[in-house]
Structure 1
Amino acid sequence: MELRHLQHFVAVAEDQHFTRAAERLMVSQSGLSASIRALERELQTPLFVRTTRRVTLTPAGRALLGEAERILTQVRSAHEAVAAVQGVLRGMLAMGTEQCIAGVDAARLLAAFRRQHPDVEICLRQAGSGALAEEVAAGRLDLAFAVRTDHADSDQLRSVPLADEPMTVLCHASHRLASADAVTPEDLGREVFVDFHPDWGPRRITDAAFAAAGVRRTVALEVNDVHTLLDLVDENLGIAVVPRHFRHKRASLTALPLKGTDERAYKTVALLPPAQATSPAARALMALLESGSA
């Protein structure tokens, strides 16, 4: 099994198309097809279901994909480690982050990293905390900044707490609860909620807090970005439970402390690196973060 076979396999799996994968890899389509066939012959099983419009992974292909990604990540880390010993940091830093995460200024951190290590290519992925954790565990990201909802580390992932932040209720100034000093889940049981998709860290924290309080809530308006959430609340279409620093993003909204949930309504921002080998670029970023230079 050759590394180029695995590289070709992963590219086809990502693009779900031989022509697009060949263009991205800058190889001929016939050469790419031959590489995949050679890998299938060696493994004695089909890896893709081919149609005229796209290709999809077979069960064997899905089983291989995670291992292939980990192998390629380890090979890349080996090359980068050798370069680092020679005094030059090269390669790629693949980082993930959730939107508007407290305690980390991702743009400033990456800018400081770029100034120190201009030869490293930076790739950034923004997604929900659940997806980011899966990407780090699978080796597709070097590290991520996410909301930690599971305090237990795993064989693939470590969790380094960075900051805690309480959750806050945002509502329109004319809302019936706007004059309250604070609210509890019981006060909000009949409200219509604006919230993020279930993969987002704040949504997971809120769902867990209300479930623990025995209060069922209705998320009627589900969004995937902070500004749309604030717009919907600003139009009095619902209320939202968000990290406390969101209250500074829209002065027209009323912010109410969420009480009666103990520590469950606290969001922990964490750095998620892999449990085992960390790339030299990721180690350099972590050192920069720890030094407070960014």
Structure 2
Amino acid sequence: MELRQIRAFVVVADESSFTRAAARLNMVQSTVSAAVRNLERQLGVQLFERTTHHVNLTHAGQLFLPEARRTLAAAQQARHVLEQLHGGLRGEVRLGVIQTPRHTAVQPALLIARFRAEHPGVTVSIQAGGSVEHAEDLRKRRLDVAYLALPPEATAGLDLHNLTSEKMQLLCSTDHPLAEHDHVELAELVDQPFIEAPTTWGNRLATDAAFTRAGLTRTIAYEIGDTAGLTSLIRHGLGIAIGPPSFINPEDDIRTVPLGPAAPSIALSLAVPAGHALSAPVKALLQTAREPSEPTT
């Protein structure tokens, strides 16, 4: 067996497609197919059931997949050990980032800058997106580590390194009728037009779940995947939102009002795939994230 054959098998298993696996590996599909066929021939088993529209693991493939992952991880770890003998840690970390408050200590740019200062031989590539997208990319091994803001029920198959957690609040314009309330209940908001983030954002999932648990429905007037745009719509009185108060800056001119006992919480974490050996660069990045740092303004 060759590592390239094992890698091709793992990526096809992750993608459930030879076409997508070839694109991810930057190879032509025939080369990926040949690598998997040769691996099956050497092992004497069929690893995939192939149909016109689907590629599924056989029972043998399911048994072989975790061992294949461990083999690739061990080879990668061995390579990192040797690389450290020649000028320090080397490699790449694929990091998923989401929109986070710029005035808190949880800043992806700050983490990357600190990490690169400690490990200049490691390349950090970033992919922007929503938490749901990043979670799926972690499970499919398209990302190594990612910032997520998801409720626990949406984090299956992931290991989380918690960074912050806060109760979400009502966000409204300063002249909104609810702006001067000490607190509000979800039931008081059902007739209000909501400004929401996309369904791939963690705060949207948390808000949807809170209303579902309360047996309530609401009207979503606008959906926008940009924090600055969302707060601008709120500031101009076009609707309300429920979100973490840390997303609001003093100059935003937006009022935050505590919610009652049904208030959802949002936790920000760094996540990695569960049950998967982490490379030395990923371990180093997580270690840097755990080290205290001064917030920037």
Distance in 1 separating the partners of 2:78 and 2:153:
30
**1:224-281 alpha-carbon deviations (Å, 9 max, x no partner):** 22233223334433211111012217624x323232135x422222232344422211
CA, structure 1 residues 77+245, in 2 after alignment: closer, same or farther (shift >3 Å)? same
2:267 paired residue number: 268
Q: Give 1:193 deviation, angstroms.
A: 1.2
Of 39, 53, 56, the match for 1:59: 56
Which runs of no fewer than 5 residues in structure 1 stay unpaired?
Answer: 51-55
Q: Give 1:11 deviation, angstroms.
A: 7.0
Distance in 2 separating the partners of 1:29 and 1:153:
32
Distance in 2 separating the partners of 1:16 and 1:240:
42
Alignment of 1:131-280 (within 5 A): 131-150=133-152, 156-248=157-249, 251-252=252-253, 254-261=254-261, 264-276=263-275, 277-280=277-280
Q: State the TM-score, normalized to the length of structure 1.
A: 0.75
Distance in 1 separating the partners of 2:25 and 2:136:
28
Contact conserved, 1:181 with 1:256, CA < 8 A, in 2? no
RMSD: 3.8
Q: Give 1:216 deviation, angstroms.
A: 1.9
Q: Secondary structure at the match of 1:140?
A: coil
CA, structure 1 residues 30+142, in 2 after alignment: closer, same or farther (shift >3 Å)? closer
Distance in 2 separating the partners of 1:4 and 1:113:
30
Distance in 2 separating the partners of 1:147 and 1:29:
35
Q: For residue 169 of structure 2, what is the amino acid of its counterpart? A: T
Contact conserved, 1:103 with 1:163, CA < 8 A, in 2? no
Distance in 2 separating the partners of 1:159 and 1:265:
19
Distance in 1 separating the partners of 2:92 and 2:25:
21
CA, structure 1 residues 31+148, in 2 after alignment: closer, same or farther (shift >3 Å)? closer
Q: Secondary structure at the match of 1:121?
A: strand
Contact conserved, 1:167 with 1:242, CA < 8 A, in 2? yes
Q: Give 1:151 deviation, angstroms.
A: 7.7
CA, structure 1 residues 57+10, in 2 after alignment: closer, same or farther (shift >3 Å)? farther
Q: Secondary structure at the match of 1:187?
A: helix
Q: Give 1:9 deviation, angstroms.
A: 5.9
Distance in 2 separating the partners of 1:57 and 1:132:
24
Contact conserved, 1:98 with 1:129, CA < 8 A, in 2? yes
Q: How many corresponding residue pairs?
A: 283
Q: Give 1:292 deviation, angstroms.
A: 1.7
